[in-house]
Chains A and B, each alone.
Chain A
Amino acid sequence: MKALAAVTRNKLVESVHWGVICVVDPQGNIVYKQGDPRTKIFYRSSAKPLQVLPFVHSGGAEAMGFTPKEIAIACASHVGSPEHQKTVMDILKRLDLKVADLHCGVMSPYHEEENRRLIAANEEPSPLHVSCSGKHAAMLAYCKYRGWDIATYEKIDHPLQQEILKIIALFTEEKADAILVGTDGCGLPICMLPVEKIALSYARLTQCVHDEQSEYHRASKTIFEAMYRHPDMVEGRGEFDTELMETAGGRLIAKVGAEAVYCMGIRQGNLGVCLKIADGNERAVYPVVMQLLLELGIFGDRELETMRKWYRTELTNNLKEHIGDIVPVFHRREAVGLGDSL
Chain B
Amino acid sequence: MPQLAIRTRSGRVESIHSGIICVTDSLNHILHSIGNTRAGLFLRSSGKPFLAVAFVHSGAMQKFNITQKELAVICSSHSGQAFHRRTVLSILNKIGLKESDLDCGHANPEDKRVENALIKLGKRPTCIFSNCSGKHAGLLALCKFYDYPIEGYTSPDHPVQQLIRKTMAELLECDERELVIGKDGCTNPTYFVTLQQAAWLYARLAHGYGAGGPYDGCLDIIKKAMIAHPRMISGDGTFATDLVRMTKGRVIGKIGAEGILCLAIPEKKLGVCINVRDGHPWSTYPIAIRVLEELEVLDATTVEKLSKWTLPPLKDDKGGTVGYLHPTFSLIQKRVSHYEMGDVFPAGGR
A-to-B contact residues, CB < 8 Å: 1, 7, 9-10, 12, 14-18, 20, 36, 39-42, 103-107, 116, 119-120, 122, 130, 132, 180-187, 192, 194, 259-260, 276, 278-281, 317-321, 323, 337-339
Nearest B residue to A181 via CB reads B10
Which 9 residue pairs spanning A and B have beta carbons closest together?
A40-B342, A318-B105, A182-B10, A105-B317, A339-B40, A10-B182, A15-B279, A105-B318, A280-B15
Interface segment, B142-150, B166-174, B185-193, B232-240? B185-193
Q: Which residues of B contact A319 (CB under 8 A)?
A: 103-105, 186-187
Nearest B residue to A185 via CB reads B316
B40 touches A15 (CB 8 A): no
B317 touches A39 (CB 8 A): no
> In the assembled complex, how far is the CB of residue B161 from the closest CB belonging to chain A, in whole angstroms?
15
B-to-A contact residues, CB < 8 Å: 1, 7, 9-12, 14-18, 39-42, 103-107, 116, 119-120, 122, 130, 132, 180-187, 190, 192, 258-259, 277-280, 316-320, 322, 340-342
A318 touches B317 (CB 8 A): no
B316 touches A39 (CB 8 A): no
A14 touches B186 (CB 8 A): no
Q: Which residues of A contact B119 (CB under 8 A)?
A: 116, 119-120
A-B pairs with beta carbons under 8 Å apart, 14 shown = A10-B42, A12-B192, A15-B258, A39-B341, A40-B340, A42-B12, A105-B319, A182-B10, A186-B316, A278-B341, A279-B278, A279-B280, A318-B185, A338-B39
A9 touches B316 (CB 8 A): no
Q: Which residues of A contact B130 (CB under 8 A)?
A: 318
> In the assembled complex, how far is the CB of residue A76 from the closest CB belonging to chain B, in whole angstroms?
15
Q: Which residues of B contact A104 (CB under 8 A)?
A: 317
> In the assembled complex, how far is the CB of residue B166 from the closest CB belonging to chain A, in whole angstroms?
21
The one of B12, B42, B105, B185 that contacts A182, using a Cβ cutoff of 8 Å: B12
Nearest B residue to A130 via CB reads B317
Q: Which residues of B contact A321 (CB under 8 A)?
A: 183, 187
Nearest B residue to A7 via CB reads B279
CA distance A192 to B345 in the complex (A): 14
Q: Which residues of A contact B320 (CB under 8 A)?
A: 183, 187
> In the assembled complex, how far is the CB of residue A46 from the closest CB belonging to chain B, in whole angstroms?
13
B39 touches A17 (CB 8 A): no
Nearest B residue to A105 via CB reads B317
Q: Which residues of B contact A323 (CB under 8 A)?
A: 182-183, 185
CA distance A317 to B184 in the complex (A): 7
Seed contacts A106-B317, A119-B119; 19 additional CB < 8 Å A-B pairs: A10-B42, A15-B278, A16-B1, A18-B278, A40-B341, A41-B342, A105-B316, A105-B318, A120-B119, A183-B320, A259-B7, A276-B341, A281-B278, A281-B280, A317-B184, A317-B186, A318-B106, A318-B107, A339-B192
The one of B12, B15, B278 that contacts A16, using a Cβ cutoff of 8 Å: B278
B342 touches A338 (CB 8 A): no
The one of A39, A276, A318 that contacts B104, using a Cβ cutoff of 8 Å: A318
Using A12-B192, A15-B277 as known contacts, say yes or no to A317 and B185 having CB atoms under 8 A apart. Answer: yes
Q: Which residues of A contact B316 (CB under 8 A)?
A: 105, 183-187
Which of B10, B132, B184 has most chain A Cβ within 10 Å? B10
B187 touches A7 (CB 8 A): no
Which of A10, A20, A122 has most chain B Cβ within 10 Å? A10
The one of A15, A107, A318, A339 that contacts B186, using a Cβ cutoff of 8 Å: A318
The one of B1, B9, B340 that contacts A39, using a Cβ cutoff of 8 Å: B340
> In the assembled complex, how far is the CB of residue A275 from the closest CB belonging to chain B, in whole angstroms?
12
Q: Which residues of A contact B41 (CB under 8 A)?
A: 14, 338-339
The one of B15, B16, B107, B318 that contacts A187, using a Cβ cutoff of 8 Å: B318
The one of A20, A185, A279 that contacts B317, using a Cβ cutoff of 8 Å: A185
> In the assembled complex, how far is the CB of residue A67 from the closest CB belonging to chain B, in whole angstroms?
26
A39 touches B342 (CB 8 A): yes
Q: Which residues of A contact B107 (CB under 8 A)?
A: 318
CA distance A337 to B35 in the complex (A): 13
CA distance A20 to B130 in the complex (A): 37
Nearest B residue to A281 via CB reads B278
Q: Which residues of A contact B342 (CB under 8 A)?
A: 39-41, 192, 194
B120 touches A14 (CB 8 A): no
